Amino acid sequence: MTENKFIGIIPARYASSRFPGKPLAMIGNKSMIQRVYEQAKKAIDTVYVATDDQRIFEAVQQFGGSVVLTDVNHPNGTSRCFEAIQHIDGDFDVVINVQGDEPFINPEQLNELKALFTNPAVTIGTQIKKIDSPENLFNSNIPKVVVNKQGQAIYFSRSPIPFLRNVPEQEWLLHHSFYKHIGLYAYRKEVLAKLVNLSPTPNEKAESLEQLRWIDHGFTIHTAITKFETIGIDIPEDITKIPKEWL
């Protein structure tokens, strides 16, 4: 079996209702996008930023990163990744969609995701992490996932799933292992081309979770369990919560 060739794409929009210009926000002495890029490069040889903004484009060039300009009207990061690889020379087997607002992503997470693709049957990969607090279990901003014995995702939801009948909610974590979804994706190149042409589905619209569209259309999502916690930056105040020793 030949070894897979990976490319990491970091979608980076300038416009954000909660944090305009987020990729260029300074975290210590480096911009957020530079930190994400440098972390990704520790696990993936070829990494590109895919942006819709000239300011981000120039900032990436200034720190020596690889970057491509993409259309401003993409509905999601998956679509932006697909356009980006059309502009990049090279023969890649798997595209890894790296979140542009997680400046301290652990390279080992990316290696765990890459390892899924040693199985030729894996076409889409993502990560999950065991939930260890009731606050996270019942937080609708944290998507939950149920997987089968083969590690394939059955369903994603903003509600706690599965429902534990006849067990008080405060005891759910004592009786069952629940998992949250880590929004890190990898796709075989030929499958990514199919995903961007799928029509939205009722489940996706109800939960506002793009990955449900893929399941509804018959695609299989394999999962890798990680122990690493991700720290996303959603609003400017989140930067002030970053431990100083990380900077």
Q: Are residues 21 and 87 in the same domain?
A: yes
Q: How confident is the model at residue 51 (pLDDT cuts 50, 70, 90)?
A: very high
Q: Are residues 85 and 8 in the same domain?
A: yes
How far apart (Å, rounded) are the C-alpha atoms in residues 126 and 181? Answer: 8
Q: Are residues 46 and 78 in the same domain?
A: yes
> Is 95 within a domain?
yes
Q: How confident is the model at residue 243 (pLDDT cuts 50, 70, 90)?
A: confident
**Residue 177: which domain range?**
120-181+199-229
Q: Are residues 223 and 238 in the same domain?
A: no
Token pair of 35 as six digits: 């930190």
> Is 51 within a domain?
yes
> Is 169 within a domain?
yes
Q: What pLDDT is recorded for position 241?
A: 84
> Is 110 within a domain?
no
Q: Are residues 244 and 170 in the same domain?
A: no
> Is 63 within a domain?
yes
Helices (H), the chain: 32-41, 54-62, 77-86, 107-115, 134-137, 172-175, 189-195, 202-207, 211-216
Q: Are residues 169 and 240 in the same domain?
A: no
Q: Quick count: other Cβ atoms within 10 Å of Cβ 173?
A: 18
Q: Are residues 244 and 208 in the same domain?
A: no
Q: Are residues 217 and 239 in the same domain?
A: no
Q: Are residues 125 and 214 in the same domain?
A: yes
Sign of CA dihedral 136, 139, 141, 144: positive
186-230 pLDDT, tens digit each: 999 999 999 999 999 999 999 999 999 999 999 999 999 999 987
CATH code of residue 37: 3.90.550.10
Q: Are residues 166 and 89 in the same domain?
A: no
Q: Are residues 164 and 143 in the same domain?
A: yes
Q: What pLDDT is recorded for position 242?
A: 86
> Is 114 within a domain?
no
How far apart (Å, rounded) are the C-alpha atoms in residues 175 and 153? Answer: 21
Helices (H), 125-201: 134-137, 172-175, 189-195
> Is 101 within a domain?
yes
Q: Quick count: other Cβ atoms within 10 Å of Cβ 28?
A: 12
Q: How many domains does the chain have?
A: 2
Q: Are residues 11 and 92 in the same domain?
A: yes
Angle between helices 107-115 and 32-41 (to 10 degrees): 50
Q: Is the pTM of this model over 0.85?
A: yes
> Is 173 within a domain?
yes
Q: What pLDDT is recorded for position 1?
A: 46
Q: How confident is the model at residue 2 (pLDDT cuts 50, 70, 90)?
A: low
